[in-house]
Structure 1
Amino acid sequence: MNAVFDGASLRLARVFSGLALEEVAERVGKTRQYLHKLETGQGTPTEQLMGDLAEALDVEIGFFGSRPHRLNEDQFHFRKLMTTKSTIKQVAIARGEMIDSLIKFLDQELRLPQVSIPSLPNSHTFDEVERAAEYCRKEWDLGLGPIANMTRLVENLGAVVTTFQGVSKEIDALSVSVERPFIVRNTAKESACRQRFDIAHELGHLVMHEGVVTGDRVTENQANRFASALLLPRSMMAKLFPRPTGTRLDWKGIKEFKLTWKVSKAGILFRAKQLDLITESQYKTGVITLRKYGETNGEREDHLVAQEPPEMLARSLFILAEKKGINALEIAKALHIKPAFLKELAGLESIALSSPPQIHPEAARHLRLVK
């Protein structure tokens, strides 16, 4: 048989699809034990079985060869590492590995934005984290005002923002430290403010925690502090935060502040407490008030803050089809997968891309074809 087989690649395709060994075994008429042996390098399938496995998993036979770029768990920044279900974590890692493969293909065909995310590993204390966020704002020419679009900022910095279809709701946001980093949004969160904070949090991991296993209380608190400091600089909080009248919080002012800075009221209160602009008692009162009015998981003004969807992947795929004649079928073939697999991977409703997605000019300004 001429085809090369690597059991780890079979496992990658299976886990990507969220299938148990039993489910794949049933589809190809084999036992769970036999498939386990194949995945662990204790056996080699016949050419017929390789074809059946490829059909069952929406890949081409070539997918089962050895893969040069494998990701490991240490490169993934999961929230609440200890409580993330192992099976969900493995699906996320498999999807991350495939997204990385797609990004590497795009990097060969397009001149994507240069990665401009500094590495600041010595940011341990809260003051060091504050200074790291301030350094980033200066490096990225953000000034001290509100960040207009967090997704677009990250993508212009060279990272890719995406979602994992069917998995994102269970894993919260996460980021992956690779040559071209990427951030996975949690689509279960309908609030644009909360998604902006999540992206800023993951950006904090990429800045401060390269090569560090995260998900514990210390690193999560550091990433939260970075997100708060990036979105709400301490100098501007000191200058513009609506101070309480006596002991009473200025809810009208906090609402206006939220709509200007696109940070949730809960996030603003937490930041104000961090900077001693309100007392612990005032903060607790604020949290109780939000809970009382049903604003714990979503706030009244959320619909007034526009969503900030990812743009780079959709734009890249469209440019390949429109300018270079590389359509979805050819991309899938290059990755040894089938179009249905690519659709799931890219997280797009359609991979036909017959019309250009509505992309803001700022998002496309660094996207160029490789000659």
Structure 2
Amino acid sequence: MSKISGEQLRLARLAHGYSLEEIGEMIGATRQFIHQLETGARSPADDVVEALVDVLGVTRSFLSSPLASTVRPEQCHFRGHITRPASVTSQVLARGTLLDKFVAAMEQHLELPPVSFPDFPAKSAEEIEQAAEEARRHWKLGTTGPITSMMRVVENAGAIVTYFGDLSERVDAFSMDRRRPIIVRSSAKQCLSRQRFDFAHECGHLIMHRGIQTGDRETEDQAHRFAGAFLFPRGAVLREFPRGRSINWPALYQLKLRWKMSVRAIVRRGYDLSLLTPAQYRTANIHLVKTGQSKIEKYDNDASMPVEQPELLPSALAALEDVMSGGARYVGDEVGMSSAMLELITDSRFPASTPEINDPKVVSLRRV
């Protein structure tokens, strides 16, 4: 019989989205037996461990190691439907936890950008507007013009960004406020303005809600307000937003192309800053729905607005490969994850074999 960590087994199972029944069927065991393994009530035979290793994409050492650190609820921020299934939440959280473990191992061999997310607690509308402006100043982005790349903003601030290609559409984005923040976004929504808003929304959580459990309507609304204020600062809104008794749609679409925000979000900025009356705000939203732009707006698929791709994690993996063939796979072995598991949590391809390396700690990765 082998001693394994039930928490590690559960973590690997949830990362794949497998139920107790499904993993039991894969290895020829019952649901009750898998549950007993996860609770520590029973220990598996060696052949059962080998079967688990094979289907979960981890090593025996992974299953036998105690969970290094527990991710607390206040460290996790989900953007998406509050009614999403608990199974989806568990799957995303498990993958994020494993990615956190892999990145920590990579940092033993790489010098990644220092983490520089400021801490600006905010609740009221005025506090949120100020927090967004201060965050832009903190990152030397100014407050008068559009942000060129939100991806580079969060990555230069030290966050690891990745996609979960099979992630349910009920989760737009997810972030973990760990020692090195992790931001995950669903690749199902390929639209630049929505992507940038998601990143700014997660920045809001990481900056304003440190140590606070989010997910309720109040904290989501606060992160929404932060995202709009961060992408389109109020000083710029007051200068550029079109005024008039009727809504100037051509001017709003020009703002969309300039600031790379959805028209819906720009309209909301106008309303938040009292440039639109409640009646005008309702009229604008009704117009977007009636014209079929509630989800996909005009210019969303324009060639001038391609979605932004992660650079830090792919660059880190490439840096390891530059020094040694299969270097990233070597790091995966250090934390007990096979190629299949690494591909699941990083959205990257990995070789199946592992090189023999005497001293792999020779890589330095710096980004400007």
TM-score in same-fold range (> 0.5): yes
Write the letter of the residue equivalent to 1:293: T
Shift of 1:83: 2.1
1:259-278 to 2 correspondence within 5 Å? 259-278=257-276
Deviations 1:152-204 (A, max 9, x none): 11000111111223125232211111000111112222221011001100100
Distance verdict in 2 for CA 1:261–1:98, change over 3 Å: same
State how far apart, in whole Å, the 1-side matches of 2:186 and 2:30 are: 36
1:90-109 to 2 correspondence within 5 Å? 90-109=90-109
1:252-331 to 2 correspondence within 5 Å? 252-304=250-302, 305-331=305-331
Write the letter of the residue equivalent to 1:242: P
State how far apart, in whole Å, the 2-side matches of 1:55 and 1:71 are: 26
Shift of 1:114: 0.6
Alpha-carbon contact 1:18-1:91 (below 8 Å) kept: yes
Write the letter of the residue equivalent to 1:100: D
Query: Which residue of 2 is the match for residue 87 of structure 1?
Result: 87
User: Helix, strand or coil for the counterpart of 1:239?
Assistant: helix
Shift of 1:81: 7.5
State how far apart, in whole Å, the 1-side matches of 2:136 and 2:250 are: 28
Shift of 1:82: 4.7
Distance verdict in 2 for CA 1:365–1:330, change over 3 Å: closer
Range with greater deviation from structure 2 (135-144 or 3-12):
3-12
Shift of 1:329: 2.9
User: Helix, strand or coil for the counterpart of 2:301?
Assistant: helix
1:1-371 to 2 correspondence within 5 Å? 4-65=3-64, 66-79=66-79, 82-121=82-121, 123-144=122-143, 145-244=145-244, 247-304=245-302, 305-348=305-348, 350-352=349-351, 366-367=366-367
- Structure 2: state its 5+ residue gaps: 353-363
Distance verdict in 2 for CA 1:258–1:82, change over 3 Å: closer
Range with greater deviation from structure 2 (67-76 or 55-64):
67-76
Query: Which residue of 2 is the match for residue 356 of structure 1?
Result: none
Shift of 1:146: 0.2
State how far apart, in whole Å, the 2-side matches of 1:87 and 1:259 are: 38
Write the letter of the residue equivalent to 1:118: P
Shift of 1:352: 5.0
Alpha-carbon contact 1:78-1:174 (below 8 Å) kept: yes
State how far apart, in whole Å, the 2-side matches of 1:181 and 1:135 are: 19
Shift of 1:325: 4.4
Alpha-carbon contact 2:319-2:365 (below 8 Å) kept: no
State how far apart, in whole Å, the 2-side matches of 1:186 and 1:80 are: 10
Shift of 1:278: 1.4
How many percent identity over aligned positions?
39
Shift of 1:306: 1.9
Alpha-carbon contact 1:162-1:185 (below 8 Å) kept: yes
State how far apart, in whole Å, the 2-side matches of 1:340 and 1:143 are: 42
Question: Could you state the TM-score of these two structures normalised by the residue count of structure 2?
Answer: 0.91
Count of aligned pairs: 353
Distance verdict in 2 for CA 1:265–1:149, change over 3 Å: same
Shift of 1:28: 1.6
User: Helix, strand or coil for the counterpart of 2:190?
Assistant: coil
Alpha-carbon contact 2:147-2:231 (below 8 Å) kept: yes
Shift of 1:328: 3.8
Write the letter of the residue equivalent to 1:303: N
Write the letter of the residue equivalent to 2:42: G
State how far apart, in whole Å, the 2-side matches of 1:269 and 1:195 are: 18
User: Helix, strand or coil for the counterpart of 1:116?
Assistant: coil
State how far apart, in whole Å, the 2-side matches of 1:43 and 1:26 are: 18
Shift of 1:290: 1.3
Alpha-carbon contact 2:165-2:186 (below 8 Å) kept: no
State how far apart, in whole Å, the 2-side matches of 1:119 and 1:264 are: 27
Alpha-carbon contact 2:329-2:351 (below 8 Å) kept: no
Deviations 1:91-142 (A, max 9, x none): 1111111110111122211111111101112x11110010001111111111
Write the letter of the residue equivalent to 1:85: P
Shift of 1:365: 8.2
Question: Could you state the TM-score of these two structures normalised by the residue count of structure 1?
Answer: 0.91
State how far apart, in whole Å, the 2-side matches of 1:158 and 1:54 are: 32
User: Helix, strand or coil for the counterpart of 1:307?
Assistant: coil
Write the letter of the residue equivalent to 1:165: G
Alpha-carbon contact 2:125-2:225 (below 8 Å) kept: yes
Distance verdict in 2 for CA 1:351–1:168, change over 3 Å: farther
